[in-house]
Amino acid sequence: MSRGSANGAATMNRHLQRLVGALAVLVAIGIGGVFVVTSGIYNVAANEQHLRPTFWLIQFALRRAVEHRAAGIEVPPLADERVVQRGLAHFRVHCVACHGAPGVAPQSFAFGMTPAPANLVDAAREWTPAELYWVIREGIKMTGMPAWQFHLADDDIWAVVAFMQRLPALSPAQYRSLPDVPVPAHAEAAASAAGPAPVDLPRAKQAIDHYLCLTCHRIPGLVGPHAPVGPSLEGIGARGVIAGRLPNTPANMQRLLREPHRIKPDGAMPDLGVSERDARDIAAYLATLK
Ligand code: HEC
Ligand code: HEC
């Protein structure tokens, strides 16, 4: 054997050893991961804070994700005093329970949440208006921060952002003295004046998730608990009759989704406040389940 090829073989050997070493480490990490997940050793309790590196990593990933997704969102004018007032009304009703306000503590249930809902007094300094809008509209997975997309019109979300921009400069006394503005009605009427939006099936899946349908029904094509509290909706699109008495037409399905108690007063399907548009989208999705 020549010296050159002996050297070559030795180099190959070293590479092979490194590769096997790296693979062994990966396998060990994999086995460790499987052990942590299956043994139950990982503590999911909300009254135990994350380890410092985990906490830091989650915060970092959250910030990066929001920055990335909020890039390119166009910010409407937010200085109008009426918009700020509307934002205040929504903030008091929808946000203070978890986040508190200047001089106001959150409700006691929020004390038990991990991650703890941040005090938002300074949020408008830490996040851009587009980022705040994105967080409020989309929510934050695995934190308890709800997505407000199906509950607040886009204008109202921007109004909340407008109010939040005033928060850093508001003293507790000033916050207390702000007028008690009633929450304006959901802006659905304005939306329907422009004609109904076209049916949107991807949005329908989000709506089904939002209205907690999967906490009671099996609904094919969606990830969730599929709990058997209500009947399975498998093949519902092909059924002749719904709720035991109504012909399965799009209009009847939308009525059932919006006013289940009108159709079956003693039924166990709760009235979930499904909007007209959301009922139309959800009914269209259910009709595809043949
Ligand atoms: C059910 C409790 C709850 C409600 C109600 C709620 N949030 Fe949150 N929110 C959270 C939790 C939990 C987090 C994640 C922890 C954190 O970062 O604050 C969060 C995060 C946020 C963040 C990111 C804060 C940061 O600096 O990390 C913003 C901004 C926010 N919420 C705004 C709002 C607004 C505005 C409303 C009202 C429309 C609202 N939240 C309603 C629980 C709630
Ligand atoms: C708290 C549990 C619960 C939630 C949440 C819920 N449902 Fe129901 N649903 C029921 C029950 C229970 C019934 C059976 C009604 C009865 O006869 O009492 C039902 C009936 C129905 C029916 C009629 C089924 C048939 O066989 O004719 C449809 C369709 C339906 N639900 C769709 C939905 C959709 C879509 C959502 C979300 C917007 C939803 N449900 C949310 C419990 C629930």
pLDDT at 191 over 60: no
pLDDT, one tens digit per residue, over 235-255 is 999 999 999 989 999 999 999
> Where is average pLDDT lowest: 14-28, 56-70, 173-187, 257-271?
173-187
> Mutation test of ligand 1: which of 93, 99, 143 has the most ligand atoms closer than 8 Å to its C-beta?
99
Say how many Å lie between the CA of residue 217 and the centre of ligand 2: 7
Instruction: Categorize the per-residue pLDDT at 186 as very low, low, confident or very high, splitting at 50, 70 and 90.
Output: low
Mean of per-residue pLDDT scores for the chain = 93
Residue 242 or residue 184, greater confidence:
242
| Nearest-angstrom CA–CA distance, 12 and 17 | 9
Q: Atom 16 of ligand 2 has which residue's CA nearest to it? A: 267
Structure tokens at 100: 């508190």
The ligand 1 site (C-beta within 6 Å) comprises: 94-95, 97-99, 113, 115, 117-118, 120, 123, 126, 132, 135-136, 140, 143-146, 148, 160
pLDDT, one tens digit per residue, over 96-139 is 999 999 999 999 999 999 999 999 999 999 999 999 999 999 99
Say how many Å lie between the CA of residue 146 and the centre of ligand 2: 23
Give residues with Cβ within 8 angstroms of 132, minimum separation 6: 123, 124, 160, 161, 164
| Nearest-angstrom CA–CA distance, 278 and 263 | 19
Q: How many CA atoms lie within 13 A of 5 on its CB side?
A: 2
Say how many Å lie between the CA of residue 231 and the centre of ligand 2: 7
Atom number in ligand 2 closest to CA 243: 27
pLDDT at 3 over 70: no
> Where is average pLDDT lowest: 131-145, 177-191, 231-245, 265-279?
177-191
Q: Atom 24 of ligand 1 has which residue's CA nearest to it? A: 118
Q: Atom 37 of ligand 2 has which residue's CA nearest to it? A: 213
pLDDT, one tens digit per residue, over 49-82 is 999 999 999 999 999 999 999 999 999 999 999 9
**Judging by beta carbons within 10 Å of its beta carbon (0-12, 13-18, 19+), is residue 58 exposed, middle or buried?**
middle
Instruction: Categorize the per-residue pLDDT at 84 as very low, low, confident or very high, splitting at 50, 70 and 90.
Output: very high
Say how many Å lie between the CA of residue 288 and the centre of ligand 2: 17
* Range 254-265 average pLDDT: 94
pLDDT at 278 over 90: yes
Residue whose tokens read 């390119």: 72
Query: What percent of the chain has pLDDT above 70?
Result: 96
- The residue type at 68: H
Atom number in ligand 2 closest to CA 267: 18
- The pLDDT assigned to 197 comes to 86
| Nearest-angstrom CA–CA distance, 38 and 183 | 47
- The pLDDT assigned to 11 comes to 87
| Nearest-angstrom CA–CA distance, 55 and 12 | 42
Give residues with Cβ within 8 angstroms of 216, minimum separation 6: 227, 229, 230, 269
For residue 75, which of 148, 118, 146, 124 has the smallest C-alpha distance?
124
Ligand nearest to the CA of residue 250, numbered in listed order = 2
Give residues with Cβ within 8 angstroms of 149, minimum separation 6: 137, 138, 139, 206, 210
The ligand 2 site (C-beta within 6 Å) comprises: 208, 211-213, 215-217, 229-231, 233, 236, 242-243, 256-257, 264, 267-270, 272, 274, 282
Ligand nearest to the CA of residue 267, numbered in listed order = 2
Instruction: Categorize the per-residue pLDDT at 194 as very low, low, confident or very high, splitting at 50, 70 and 90.
Output: confident
